[in-house]
Structure 1
Amino acid sequence: MQNGKYRRELEAAVDVVQRACRLCVDVKSSLLRADGQVLEKNDQTPVTVADFGVQALVSLELGTLFPSIPLVAEEDSTFLRANNLAHSVLTVVTEKSSSQNELTQDDVLEAIDRGANVGFAFGSKPATYWVLDPIDGTRGFLRGNDVLYVVGLALVVEGEIVLGVMGCPNWHVDLSEESNSEDLERGGVWSRSGAIMIAQVGHGSWTRRLSDMQSPSKMFHNWTRCFVDECRLVHEARFCIPDSQTWESLPPSTSLQATTNADHVGNGQILLLQTCCGSLCKYFMVASGRASVFILRKKSQTIIKTWDHAVGMICVHEAGGKDTKLPPILLSLPFFFWRNLGNVTRYVQDYFDSRRQQHNHYASISNTLSDNDAPRLQATTKALDATVSCPYPCFFPSAYMSGCTDIYDI
């Protein structure tokens, strides 16, 4: 990792994500004492000063170090300008910026817009660009301290995700529980102070505590290697799904019930972990080995946004998860990718290497389904079969996720 091809970019990404997480923690503390910093976007997603602040901070830091590499991010400055919150964002960014120059509101607004879809004139296939989700799980950010949210940053080079960094300020575990990991250096264990996860292509995924700023010479000290869960049996796996969806809405519920009680998982049941909020939190769960499977039901006419998945994909893959071959358009069109319903198993079977017989259990219920439903069951069966036969998690149904199966529209 220390001698990787993208060492300089990784160091910068780790540093700025740490700064961004600290910005989030500080802003959240202030929100507990004051009102007026929560906005609503047109799509009803809550946006905070932290959300804009993270994007401005990351844009400024990376723009200084890598001025030729564009940024793809979620926000633009429209809401800040309309609600006169630029000064609030400037304040929180200034506190965490490494710049020796005094920042202005215009600097912040321009930095935010640098990541918006009007901020850079991409070619049809940009060779290199950053992908940022300033706060994935903003609803979680606005809830209690035990709810997860993630700052996610990835670097894409010629259509390949080459590195990723996820910061999760509220990540915590019981320090007495055994970890599915190996130490890179002493002290590499999770604590209740948050965690940061990094991944670089060919070098694995690693995590450590979200501690105080460290000097560049100690940037890669005290990391713990991450591995995905090695569970091979569906009924022993730990599942997570978006908090906006229910287990009953997913195909596996036809034959498996879900429980959130880890101490009482009965026959015909699976353990469903309650995880809020955002897709990157689920990727973090799987890459760390805490969850075995992440299921996402792709809604009709959904816009698949690159920043919701890019960094999570590389972290899971480098932790031992198998990802399917991404359709090139997902990363060559950096802002979003639209997919209509249909083509249920277009990318699925090519990447299965099933070696067990779990398939038969789910195939046995096919007689109860209509001809229209049969392909859905087949895709689910294949995904479940891959789950029990591979030493890596299988994400199904997925919307361009890194797992054994790739696309499953419901």
Structure 2
Amino acid sequence: MPLLHLSLPPHRLLVAGGRRRLLPLPPSPRRVCVRAAASVELEVAAEEVYELPFPSERAAHHRELAAAAAAVERACRLCVDVKRSLLSGEKKIFEKNDQTLVTVADFGVQALISLELQQSFPSIPLVAEEDSASLRSSNADNSSNVLVESISSAVADNVSNTDSLLTHDDVLRAIDKGGKDGASFDSNPATYWVLDPIDGTQGFSKVDDTLYVVGLALVVNGKVVAGVMGSPNWASDTIANRKDDSIASRYDRGILMIAHEGCGTWTKRLYDEFGQFTTSKDTWNRCFVDSCSVVHKARYCLSDNQTWNMIPLSVVFNSTTDESKPRDENELLTSYVFSGSLCKYLTVAYGRASVFVLKARTKSLKSWDHTVGVICVQEAGGQVTDWRGEPLDLEADLTGRRDIYPHGGILITNGVLHNKLAELIKANY
């Protein structure tokens, strides 16, 4: 397990007259060097109690998963809170240098989860999507100050340690703990968290009920051992796709999915029957992939920004999105699920689709778009490889652990179909 020589300052949330007051903007963060070691004793602070569906003696990383589940559930609450005011006219969305959108919720979730994990596992580094450079570089811009204020307020409203003081500095440092300059690994095996604060930001920022996922995973020695996905808009009755993006019932939505090596994949509802986040002990349900073993009878899931002819299977099969249309062995049923990759992993792990095929448009993909999905699908009985049938190499990026390099793309299946489809893809790629 790697040593992380960093201790965030205590949270400083100044409360006066019954209102939180957040203090001014900070200097730039320091880079942290992470080096592998044979073993480390975890310094565990008082952690939030979170009941899992299996006993601790069965799960080597029970405490880490419990803390991760609690943090992701809090992060989902933050997303819902931010979403309510996202289009209110305040400056809460902006475009990064790579032309991708980022919101108050993206930054807020990363800061919140960073702070929550820091309380219980300060020695485990975090690899995550965002950093605060874009916020810090616009200090003189009033819109940037509004964003930082909004981010800090969202975190302060949802962080578990409400008795401590929290400043803008603490929030931005927490974001940068997972940023590209937050930690440097060596080439040895390491233990670290991987976080995608919101996978599906584009839809999150524009559509009320689109699918998006908060994804957090624990990697130990190159292997994903535990993970959590939270999706506040997950509908329990139908798969959400481009043609059916609405949620029929206000209350019949929201899911938390957890997985632990050797303990299976489990889900529970995020909301109770009144549409409020659950506060009582809830029933966990074991989750399994579907059992379809016939290639042309399976349901296939694609990214909404990719077309069927980009997939090697298109050489052999036609595709249709019409479920009512009679199909023969030459045509496959496909669904285009709106937003990020993790929604598709969730869909396969839950059993709503048999297969998700993703073409890699560049040589590398970001680890946070896939890591937690791997453990959730595998523990539900499925399989994840690249297009050559090789497992994803999470340690290929030796110093940053931020990139993976799958050959051709990624194939996620219910396991039963995996070898057949991998052979077809390899033969036609």
Normalised by the length of structure 1, the TM-score is 0.77
Deviation at 1:330, TM superposition (A): 3.6
Give the letter aligned to residue 356 of structure 2: F
Contact 1:73 1:116 in 2 (8 A): yes
Aligned length: 344
Deviation at 1:102, TM superposition (A): 1.9
Distance (whole Å) between structure 1 residues aligned to residue 187 and residue 72 of structure 2? 28
Distance (whole Å) between structure 1 residues aligned to residue 178 and residue 154 of structure 2? 18
The answer to whether 1:391 aligns with 2:416 is yes
Correspondence 1:272-287 to 2 at 5 A:
272-287=334-349
Distance (whole Å) between structure 2 residues aligned to residue 135 and residue 105 of structure 1? 21
| Correspondence for 2:66 among 4, 7, 11 | 11
Question: SS where residue 234 of structure 2 aligns?
Answer: coil
> Which position in structure 2 is the counterpart of 1:97?
159
The answer to whether 1:291 aligns with 2:345 is no
Distance (whole Å) between structure 2 residues aligned to residue 102 and residue 405 of structure 1? 57
Distance (whole Å) between structure 2 residues aligned to residue 68 and residue 318 of structure 1? 27
The answer to whether 1:336 aligns with 2:402 is yes
Correspondence 1:211-250 to 2 at 5 A:
211=271, 212=277, 214=279, 218=281, 221-250=282-311
Contact 2:311 2:359 in 1 (8 A): yes
Residues 340-380 of structure 1: CA deviation (Å, up to 9, x unaligned):
9xx669xx9xxxxxxxxxxxxxxxxxxxxxxxxxxxxxxxx
| Correspondence for 1:72 among 127, 130, 151 | 127
| Correspondence for 1:192 among 252, 272, 277 | 252
Contact 1:164 1:311 in 2 (8 A): yes
Contact 1:18 1:213 in 2 (8 A): no
Contact 1:206 1:226 in 2 (8 A): yes
Q: Counting strand residues as a fraction of each chain, which structure ranks higher? A: 2
Distance (whole Å) between structure 2 residues aligned to residue 396 and residue 44 of structure 1? 34
Distance (whole Å) between structure 2 residues aligned to residue 152 and residue 393 of structure 1? 24
Give the letter aligned to residue 292 of structure 1: S
> Which position in structure 2 is the counterpart of 1:2?
55
Distance (whole Å) between structure 2 residues aligned to residue 163 and residue 387 of structure 1? 19
> Which position in structure 1 is the counterpart of 2:23?
none
> Which position in structure 2 is the counterpart of 1:133?
196
> Which position in structure 2 is the counterpart of 1:369?
none
Distance (whole Å) between structure 1 residues aligned to residue 102 and residue 408 of structure 2? 33
Contact 1:204 1:226 in 2 (8 A): yes
Identity of aligned residues (%): 50
Contact 1:287 1:316 in 2 (8 A): yes
Question: SS where residue 266 of structure 1 aligns?
Answer: coil
Residues 276-301 of structure 1: CA deviation (Å, up to 9, x unaligned):
111100000000000110010111x3
CA distance 1:255–1:136, change in 2 (3 Å): same
> Which position in structure 2 is the counterpart of 1:270?
332
| Worse overlay, 72-81 or 31-40 | 31-40
Contact 1:232 1:391 in 2 (8 A): yes
Give the letter aligned to residue 327 of structure 1: D
Contact 2:393 2:405 in 1 (8 A): no
| Correspondence for 1:28 among 80, 83, 91 | 83
Deviation at 1:252, TM superposition (A): 1.5
Q: 4+ runs of 1 displaced by more than 4 Å? A: 331-334, 392-397, 404-410
Distance (whole Å) between structure 2 residues aligned to residue 56 and residue 26 of structure 1? 15
Deviation at 1:408, TM superposition (A): 10
Give the letter aligned to residue 137 of structure 1: G
| Worse overlay, 269-278 or 252-261 | 252-261
CA distance 1:165–1:393, change in 2 (3 Å): farther
Question: SS where residue 295 of structure 1 aligns?
Answer: strand
Deviation at 1:54, TM superposition (A): 0.2
> Which position in structure 1 is the counterpart of 2:374?
313
Give the letter aligned to residue 261 of structure 2: V
Contact 1:322 1:392 in 2 (8 A): no
Normalised by the length of structure 2, the TM-score is 0.74
| Worse overlay, 11-20 or 37-46 | 37-46
| Correspondence for 2:314 among 250, 253, 270 | 253
Deviation at 1:331, TM superposition (A): 7.2
Deviation at 1:79, TM superposition (A): 1.8
Residues 124-154 of structure 1: CA deviation (Å, up to 9, x unaligned):
2352111100001111212323321100000
Distance (whole Å) between structure 2 residues aligned to residue 17 and residue 394 of structure 1? 34
Deviation at 1:192, TM superposition (A): 2.2
| Worse overlay, 128-137 or 142-151 | 142-151
C-alpha RMSD of the superposition:
2.9
Deviation at 1:243, TM superposition (A): 0.9
Residues 24-68 of structure 1: CA deviation (Å, up to 9, x unaligned):
111111013234211111222110000000000000110111111
Question: SS where residue 296 of structure 1 aligns?
Answer: strand
> Which position in structure 1 is the counterpart of 2:31?
none
Distance (whole Å) between structure 1 residues aligned to residue 285 and residue 125 of structure 2? 31
Segments of 5+ residues of structure 1 without an aligned counterpart are 176-190, 349-382, 398-403
Deviation at 1:393, TM superposition (A): 5.4
CA distance 1:71–1:405, change in 2 (3 Å): farther
Contact 2:367 2:404 in 1 (8 A): no
Give the letter aligned to residue 85 of structure 2: S
Contact 2:397 2:404 in 1 (8 A): no
Residues 200-222 of structure 1: CA deviation (Å, up to 9, x unaligned):
0000000110133547xx4xx41
CA distance 1:316–1:49, change in 2 (3 Å): same
CA distance 1:131–1:119, change in 2 (3 Å): same
Q: Counting helix residues as a fraction of each chain, which structure ranks higher? A: 1
Distance (whole Å) between structure 1 residues aligned to residue 310 and residue 150 of structure 2? 41
Deviation at 1:392, TM superposition (A): 5.6
| Correspondence for 1:160 among 223, 240, 263 | 223
Question: SS where residue 9 of structure 1 aligns?
Answer: helix
Distance (whole Å) between structure 2 residues aligned to residue 307 and residue 174 of structure 1? 27
Residues 378-400 of structure 1: CA deviation (Å, up to 9, x unaligned):
xxxxx8xx979x53657978xxx
Segments of 5+ residues of structure 2 without an aligned counterpart are 1-53, 139-143, 239-250, 272-276, 386-390
